[in-house]
Amino acid sequence: MEEGDSKYIDDTFSEEINDSKIGKITVKCYVFTPKLPDRNSKETKQTIRREFFKNNMSVLFSVNGQVHGHFTSEFITRSLKYHILKDYLLIHVDCSQAKTEFRNELFMASRDRLKDADEARELRKRLTTLLTTGRLKEIYKNRKATISLDSSDAEEMLRNVSKNLPMQSELAKLLNQTFKIENKDEGKNTNKNKKTKSSPKKNSSEDGNFVSKRFPSSFKLDTNDAKNQIPLIKIPEGSSRELKFSTDVEDEYFDRSHEPGSLALAILNHGEGGNNDQPNPPNDISDLLDIVKSSPSKGIIRISIAPTEKIAVGDGIRMKASLSSPEGDFDQIFEVKIVDKTKKKKSKPKELPEQNLGLPQPIMVYEKQKEGSKTWDDLEQIGISMDHEQVVYPSVEEDTLSAIYVNMDSSVIKNYRSEIKSEEAIKAADNRYFSAVYFHSLFLFATSKSQKFTFGYDGETDQSIDIEEYIQSIFKNSYAQFLLSFDMDALIAALD
């Protein structure tokens, strides 16, 4: 996987945690491509799962090269909530340099699994925070953004359908626990009321003009402190501060198999009350600071620094960051000072915003290109498989149903269309099928959430299922055909 020309790997990076409680652990993430050039997405996923994921191990914990425990893909869907990466993300957590006492409480004596202890829960929590706030979050958003969502026709149709739904108060209350339903007067000026979000400003090193080098030729701390020759970084007590270092080295510099580089941090001086004149660094940097270090990304190396309990307000630390290079290390010296927390001015309490969200976006998907709609191939680019047997894909983000992809070329609707002659009747059938699948998916999700059904890893069967798979599986079992064919009026007439 670490070969530069690996056809399976779409992206790879590492994060390093070094703190007073855990010690030093290295987290390396491998993000697989959702579709190989010579295979479709389904075949690609099967190959990747067969070759790289043994026994559904998605997070591997190792010591000196030996796996001592693991998490399943349940960690990716339940903790990270990155559902589309479930089958395409492998995480290696190297605990070889973790503190001995922490490591002893982390793994079973048999070295085959993690203990059900505070240490394992703490590490899971730290990994969740680390991977949902850094590079992986960007990768996830970029993968989702590769398919633009333009579904104005579908939205207009469903808006008309929803206005005429005979929803009783209890039914509307169920939906409103999770979603915000438009009233009849809303939605008329939807397009006028929408505000166009301005695109975020990009760092000059993060645009498309960045050209990387195999080895660095520059290394500098990005800071607004232009007054001092040595940059001063202020960190509020009990908080953390992310530092950005600009460089021109390639992203794989820390993680590549051949000639990898490294970034080392050292404390030169530590003085109480801001006195840094006397060189008295600790034996271990983690005694004073909790450090999280990331591998390069488009010319930026990020380091998060948080003071431990051994540092008081007013203390100053002089530090050196060294980026390795065959021709000599690049050093950057800077100072860290611990300051009081900024007290926020009391303001009048604001009204709490509504917690309910809008209805999930309706998206029609076809096998072949059709104007204004998406194709199976479009979804394959982000790792979502769609074929004739698949009816629906509910896209869930952070426990929110954000979009519902309905397959308009499933075998269910194709077989139903084959018995219809007129174009008008075919269009009516498509609308009925789409609205039925959309709203039934919506209600299945809302009901499951309101009843607090739990989805995740089953330790007894060693299987995991999430709410997306649950809804998909229901529609695969002839449920969509039942919705399309069932005629309540005809049934009542027959009973009469």
Q: Using an 8 Å Cβ cutoff, are 301 and 244 in contact?
A: yes
Q: Which residues contact 211 (CB under 8 A, 6 or more apart)?
A: 248
219: nearest Cα among 325, 87, 103, 139: 325
The phi, psi pair for 57, rounded to 5°, reads -85, 110
Residue 13 bridge partners (DSSP) = 29
Q: Using an 8 Å Cβ cutoff, are 84 and 144 in contact?
A: yes
3-class DSSP assignment, residue 322: strand
Structure tokens at 111: 């070295």
Q: Give the DSSP letter string of 239-275.
A: --EEEEEEE-B-TTTTT-SSS---EEEEEEEEEGGG-
- pLDDT at position 126 is 92
Q: Using an 8 Å Cβ cutoff, are 74 and 464 in contact?
A: yes
End-to-end CA gap in the chain: 67
Rounded distance, CA 487 to CA 352, Å?
A: 44
Strand ranges, E, within 340-407: 357-358, 361-366, 374-375, 392-397, 400-407
DSSP strand pairing (232-236 vs 330-339): parallel
- Crossing angle between the packed helical segments 169-176 and 423-450, to the nearest 10 degrees: 70
Structure tokens at 246: 């600009």
230: nearest Cα among 142, 167, 153, 321: 321
- pLDDT at position 346 is 57
Rounded distance, CA 284 to CA 335, Å?
A: 18
- Alpha-carbon 465 to chain mean position: 18
385: nearest Cα among 305, 453, 468, 302: 468
3-class DSSP assignment, residue 332: strand
In terms of Cβ atoms closer than 10 Å to its own Cβ (0-12, 13-18, 19+), residue 82 is buried
Sheet with 232-236: list strands edge to edge. Answer: 232-236, 330-339, 316-323, 263-271
- pLDDT at position 205 is 46
Q: How far is CA 202 from CA 114, 135, 139, 147, 298, in A?
A: 41, 15, 16, 21, 11
Domains of the chain: 1-145 (3.30.230), 152-181+359-495 (no CATH), 211-342 (2.60.40.10)
In terms of Cβ atoms closer than 10 Å to its own Cβ (0-12, 13-18, 19+), residue 64 is exposed
Rounded distance, CA 198 to CA 281, Å?
A: 46
Instruction: Look at phi and psi of residue 314 and say left if phi exceeds 0, alpha if psi is from -120 to 50, else beta.
Output: left
Q: Using an 8 Å Cβ cutoff, are 374 and 405 in contact?
A: yes
Q: What angle do CA 129, 134, 137 make, to 5 degrees?
A: 95
Instruction: Compute the Cα dihedral for 460, 462, 466, 468 and give only its sign.
Output: negative
Query: For residue 192, what is the enclosing H or E element?
Result: helix 190-193
The phi, psi pair for 129, rounded to 5°, reads -65, -45
Q: Mark 124-135 as b/e (b = at least 16 C-beta within 10 Å).
A: eebbeebbeebb
- Alpha-carbon 18 to chain mean position: 23
pLDDT mean for each 10 residues of the chain (496 residues): 77 92 93 87 88 91 93 89 90 94 89 86 92 90 68 58 52 54 45 41 51 93 80 90 94 90 92 57 78 93 92 90 95 92 59 52 88 83 84 82 89 89 87 87 83 60 66 80 68 52
136: nearest Cα among 11, 260, 16: 11
Rounded distance, CA 399 to CA 176, Å?
A: 15
Q: Which amino acid, residue 327? A: E
Instruction: Compute the Cα dihedral for 270, 272, 274, 278 and give only its sign.
Output: negative
Q: Using an 8 Å Cβ cutoff, are 57 and 70 in contact?
A: yes
Structure tokens at 288: 């004073």
Q: Give the DSSP letter string of 443-471.
A: HHHHHHHHTT---EEETTTTEEE-HHHHH
Instruction: Compute the Cα dihedral for 401, 75, 474, 141 and give only its sign.
Output: positive
- pLDDT at position 30 is 94
Count how many residues are written for the chain. 496
User: Greatest CA span in the chain, whole angstroms?
Assistant: 97
